Amino acid sequence: MRKLALSDEILLSIEKPARYIGNEVNMVKKDFNKVDIRFAMCFPDVYEIGMSHLGIQILYDMFNKRDDVYCERVYSPWLDLDKIMREQDIPLFALESQQPIKDFDFLGITIQYEMCYTNILQILDLSKIPLLAADRTEDDPIVIGGGPCAYNPEPLAPFFDLFYIGEGEMVYFELLDKYKENKANDGTRHTFLEMAAEIEGIYVPMFYDVTYHEDGTIRSFEPNHQNAKKIITKQLVMDISNTYYPDRPLVPFIKATQDRVVLEIQRGCIRGCRFCQAGSVYKPVRERDLDFLKEKAYNMLKNTGHEEISLSSLSSSDYSQLEGLINFLIDEFKGKGVNISLPSLRIDAFSLDVMSKVQDVRKSSLTFAPEAGSQRLRNVINKGLTEEVILNGAKLAFDGGWNRVKLYFMLGLPTETVSDMQGIALLSEKIAELYYQIPKDQRIGKVSVVASTSFFVPKPFTPFQWASMNTKEQFLSKAKIVNDKMKEMLNKKSLKYNWHEADVSVLEGLLARGDRRVADTILYAYRLGCIYDAWGESFDYDKWEQAIKATNIDMDFYITRERNTDEILPWDFIDVGVTKQFLKNEWKKAKKETVTPNCRMQCAGCGVAKFGGGVCFESKN
Amino acid sequence: MKVRIKFAKQGAMKFVGHLDIMRYFQKVMRRSDVDIAYSEGFSPHQKMSFAAPLGVGLTSRGEYFDIEVNSTESSKEMLRRMNETMVEGMEVIRYRLLPEDSKNAMSIVSEADYLVNFRKGKEPCSDLKNQFEQFMAQEQIEILKATKKSEVVVDIRPLIRSFEVRNDGIFLKLATGSENNLKPELVVDAFCEYLSVQRKPFDLLTERLELYGKNENGDPIPLEDFGVDLD
Ligand code: SF4
């Protein structure tokens, strides 16, 4: 039996010890002494969150298909264990072999959201790997970052040896082969990085220099090494029905956030919402084959024993074979005690019909994401959801027995006015009124309309990458405007309004569009004790403020300043396919409140057709 | 058809709590195609009930749960199928058909066997065998038990059905179940109090060995003996 890295005493004195023992169903077992490459795959958040992430499950399966590689997992120790590990000087370990991360060849970190940046430093620190790439030696693993936040890697640049820009399925094997080659040639860490820099999609931050203008904007961003590419091109999988996808995903013992089989039906999104980074960087839409999905659904349910299967994609309703897929799932699995969960469906007759088949109408709620309170602002953000569509959907649903509605909005969008904000309350009220038009004897109790707002954070590679972001004070006063208006509504007793924390959003804004200078702030905040910033109980804005001050970060420069479309943005050296010119046009159109049709209605010539597949070539087949 | 399943929980699995073990076995049923019966209603659940929860930190060689099945293969085949999908440390050791009118395991549990060991360096005294035998020779062993409102003095001596200080540890047969329930931890608490020594934290390594239920004559027999193997 494996020896655990932590003693019984420690495991019995912390919360949920099963986070740290590995041994889950479908865990891959190999002899770590008999492989050429040991890869530690990390999700820098607590186990239950990390284990719910599909991308890691895909890469874990893919890496371990190679006999010369053993891919293991590591997550952030929770605060209780973090403290004990520091006090007792226990090195961070991987779940499979329970061996120190420091002994691995690679530490791969998936970077899914900005608020996990200090957790990345926690992982390095507890692993006893120097936080700065420049300080690492031949004894340290190569630290590689990937995931959505790698599309602006600059605030993390000094902490990583390399970043991989693109979808995980693509170049890792080439990278691993180069690593073996370098090892066989008695190469050093540095010679490996030199070789890696030549691979498409690989960015080695130390091979680039940045200079700045007096006003703080970037003057130049240039390679300082001959192997480093001037432009890093995103790598993506074009045939996603003939690629890696696990048949035997890991099944955690403790309840993970995503305690079900996840079937990714397509990648990308045809709808060019102007605030959405995922929509932009995962373009173009690539659909998976129905037969591929059927087979995977069957295998994964069989091999995990999960009692639920969920479809995943940015906008499931746009999947062209949705009906066939859902009917298959219902026919095949519904009678076997398997629940089918269908997130992100557009509310219409079809979706209501399937929802009534797979979930308890009385217990479930309808979800709409209008994102903005008025049609004018929805045109600005290119969210093609009209009030009419929402009200029609709600009407159909109320007739079908639903009486709970959730609405999602953003505050702080470009060009927003007071009437846009008040529109959130007005739309909520209209939905409630619609319900009460149903004759009393046909209603099932009261309606509940819950409107939630998050604060808009501009993201790289969206048309709003140049936009001004609101301050905390602006955000909170906007939330108050919505809240006041809600209280004026006739049906206010049926309405509920929630808004997010503003502190976190502002910080997210700094990290999302930050440059290399922001790395000092992250390091400083970490040294002050910041970790788990995504968690309310441990987020400490005062410490962040202290770090921002100490590292001379001008929040106006990073947050409220509207960027000039001519300036060099920190992430300009990355080519995601969508051209800067397209984004500039979209930014202009946004200000003019002009919408851009989705990819299936009319190609907008965004630039990603150069990848040679997906929706861009659908009609031409 | 009612079926009783006996399993062992060893090694690192002792850190997985009771609720998670229940979820684990629900998934085992699906992975190994056990034709388990589901309840009616919109979100049907498996008909499965566990005999007695085992605390985190304890290993066991004799845990039980009952299920209802619509159909089944032989015990041997069912054990093979289930064990094929087990993780290290978990093993299914019996699969036995119960008479149709059986009460479920939880309602008949009356006793449990434990083997208690002190970790090295955490023993409360040097001549454990003597001391423990003297402790058990008392007519009454009173402990303070905290209830919701106050503390009451309980005599746990009658709840310790038998004991033996063996080479491999202290064997205890303790009253278990809804009526009377005594945990080995409490016996050790009382023993240390008797010795007038402070208990050391995390001093025990405890394994549950078997669970018993009362048969129609009121005699405790191992829960597995209520059923028969299927050929
Ligand atoms: S090139 Fe056209 S079809 Fe392809 S993703 Fe861009 S806008 Fe859509």
Q: Classify each residue of B4-30 as buried b or exposed e, where b means 16 or more C-beta atoms within 10 Å of its C-beta.
A: bbbbbbebbbbbbbeebbebbbbbbbb
Instruction: Record the pTM.
Output: 0.94
Mean predicted confidence (pLDDT) in A448-462: 96
Q: Do B88 and A24 touch (CB under 8 A)?
A: no
Q: Which residues of B touch A337 (CB under 8 A)?
A: 30, 38, 44-46
Q: How many domains does chain A have?
A: 1
Check residue A621 and give its pLDDT.
Answer: 42
Tell which atom from ligand 1 comes closest to the C-alpha of A608: 1
CA separation for the pair B2, A340 (Å, rounded)? 29
In a domain, A163, yes or no: yes
Check residue A70 and give its pLDDT.
Answer: 98
Give distance in angstroms: CA of A390 to centre of ligand 1.
26
pLDDT tens digit string along A399-418? 888 889 999 999 999 999 99
Share of chain B above pLDDT 70, in %: 100
Confidence of residue A192 (pLDDT cuts 50, 70, 90): very high
Confidence of residue A135 (pLDDT cuts 50, 70, 90): very high
**Does B43 score more than 80 pLDDT?**
no
CA separation for the pair A510, A518 (Å, rounded)? 8
Token couple for A55: 């991308």
Q: Which residues of A touch B42 (CB under 8 A)?
A: 359-360
Residue A254 C-alpha, separation from nearest chain B C-alpha, in angstroms: 6
In a domain, A282, yes or no: no
> B28 at the A interface (CB within 8 A)?
yes
Of B15, B87, B201, the CB nearest to A25: B87
Token couple for A553: 């970060």
CA separation for the pair A391, A394 (Å, rounded)? 5
Mean predicted confidence (pLDDT) in A597-610: 91
**Does B211 score more than 80 pLDDT?**
yes
**Does A620 score more than 60 pLDDT?**
no
pLDDT tens digit string along A215-234? 999 999 999 999 999 999 99
Confidence of residue B149 (pLDDT cuts 50, 70, 90): confident
pLDDT tens digit string along A528-561? 999 999 998 999 999 999 999 999 999 999 999 9
Share of chain A above pLDDT 90, in %: 80
Check residue B44 and give its pLDDT.
Answer: 83
For residue A556, how far is the Cα from the chain centroid?
A: 26
Check residue A182 and give its pLDDT.
Answer: 97
Residue A102: partners with Cβ closer than 8 Å, 6 or more residues away: A91, A127, A128, A129, A139, A140, A141
Looking at per-residue pLDDT, the higher value among A2 and A578 belongs to A578
Q: Do A337 and B38 touch (CB under 8 A)?
A: yes
Does domain B2-107+218-229 match CATH 3.30.70.580?
yes
> A254 at the B interface (CB within 8 A)?
yes
Instruction: Identify the CATH number of the domain in which residue A139 sits.
Output: 3.40.50.280
Mean predicted confidence (pLDDT) in A280-296: 92
**Does B150 score more than 60 pLDDT?**
yes
Measured by CA distance, the residue closest to atom 2 of ligand 1 is A603
Among A37-41, A190-194, A617-621, B87-91, which is the least confidently predicted range? A617-621
Q: Do A337 and B46 touch (CB under 8 A)?
A: yes
Looking at per-residue pLDDT, the higher value among A198 and A238 belongs to A198
Check residue A1 and give its pLDDT.
Answer: 64
In a domain, A185, yes or no: yes
Residue A307 C-alpha, separation from nearest chain B C-alpha, in angstroms: 7
Q: Do A337 and B31 touch (CB under 8 A)?
A: no
CA separation for the pair A231, A575 (Å, rounded)? 7
Measured by CA distance, the residue closest to atom 6 of ligand 1 is A606
Q: Do B30 and A307 touch (CB under 8 A)?
A: yes
> A21 at the B interface (CB within 8 A)?
yes
Q: Which residues of B touch A25 (CB under 8 A)?
A: 24, 27, 31, 85, 87
SS3 B149: coil
pLDDT tens digit string along B5-28? 999 999 999 999 999 999 999 999
Domain limits at A71?
8-233
Residue linked to tokens 């045809």: A270
Check residue A258 and give its pLDDT.
Answer: 81
Please report, for residues A453, A458, A490, A533, B231, the alpha-carbon distance to residue A378 in angstroms, rounded to integers and kept in the order given: 15, 16, 25, 31, 68
Q: Are A579 and A606 in contact (CB under 8 A)?
A: yes
CA separation for the pair A414, A588 (Å, rounded)? 12
Q: Does A155 sit in the ligand 1 pocket, CB within 6 Å?
A: no
**Does A567 score more than 80 pLDDT?**
yes
Residue A435 C-alpha, separation from nearest chain B C-alpha, in angstroms: 25
Of B16, B43, B202, the CB nearest to A339: B43
Instruction: Assign 3-class secondary structure to A433-491.
Output: HHHHCCCHHHCCCCCEEEEEEEECCCCCCCHHHHCCCCCHHHHHHHHHHHHHHHHHCCC
Which of the listed residues A583, A599, A602, A620 should we mutate to test ligand 1's pocket, taking the one with most ligand atoms within 8 A of CB? A599
Q: Do A360 and B42 touch (CB under 8 A)?
A: yes
pLDDT tens digit string along A324-376? 998 899 888 877 788 888 876 788 788 888 888 777 766 778 888 999 999 99
| B84, amino acid identity | E
In a domain, A389, yes or no: no
Chain A residue closest in CA terms to B46: A337
In a domain, A420, yes or no: no
Check residue B178 and give its pLDDT.
Answer: 84
Residue A556 per-residue DSSP state:
I
Please report, for residues A167, A243, A269, A322, B215, the alpha-carbon distance to residue A164 in angstroms, rounded to integers and kept in the order given: 8, 18, 22, 32, 65
> A337 at the B interface (CB within 8 A)?
yes
